[in-house]
Amino acid sequence: MLKKRVEEALNTQINAEMWSAHFFLAMSLHFAEDGYTGFAAWMRHQYNEEQQQAFRLMDYVVEQGGRVILQDIVDIPSEFGDPIETFEQALVHQMRITDSFDTLLDVVCEEKDRATRSVLDWFVLNQVKKESEISRIITRLKRTADESGFYMLDSELIKKS
């Protein structure tokens, strides 16, 4: 059984993950509209991952006898910049999600909930990987920083998505 404080913190994270999914979907649509099919596919993959993470947390809450309370998803941006700016926004966002997991872990540790702590370790490691991957993409985008370079990386990312 989850302690109330842990359940509330997990719900906060679940809703952050759902917002995050829609954020990546908006970025995917932005890239699709601009003709960057590889960037769009990569962002759509992130959308799917964020949803899966939210479902994984939801399943855990339910399995532990808790209740999931979903909130409205609001204030999703619809305007983004060039590929560098958009991926930089994605990185800043992922860093915020990492911070929210850190806050969740603080609550879990204060409540001495070792089971939930164990479950969350996977999410934390996954965040590290995501931030690293986005950082590498930004580095490559900045090295090419022109349309031909953007399209070259775009073509490469479509193969990975």
Instruction: Please write the tens of the pLDDT for every residue from 93-143.
Output: 999 999 999 999 999 999 999 999 999 999 999 999 999 999 999 999 998
pLDDT in tens, 46-59: 999 999 999 999 99
* Res 25: pLDDT: 98
pLDDT at 10 over 80: yes
The structure tokens listed for 140 are 């490559």
pLDDT at 160 over 80: no
Mean pLDDT for 6-33 is 97
Q: What is the DSSP string of the chain?
A: ---HHHHHHHHHHHHHHHHHHHHHHHHHHHHHHTT-HHHHHHHHHHHHHHHHHHHHHHHHHHHTT----------------SHHHHHHHHHHHHHHHHHHHHHHHHHHHHTT-HHHHHHHHHHHHHHHHHHHHHHHHHHHHHHH-SHHHHHHHHHHHHHH-
Mean pLDDT for 27-41 is 95
Contacts of 133 (CB under 8 A, 6+ apart): none
How far apart are the C-alpha atoms of 134 and 83, rounded to whole Å? 12
* Res 19: pLDDT: 98
Task: State the average pLDDT for the chain.
Answer: 94
* Res 145: pLDDT: 72
The conformational region for residue 65 under phi > 0 = left, psi -120 to 50 = alpha, else beta, is left
How far apart are the C-alpha atoms of 20 and 76, rounded to whole Å? 9
pLDDT at 66 over 80: yes
Q: Which residue has the higher pLDDT, 98 or 155?
A: 98
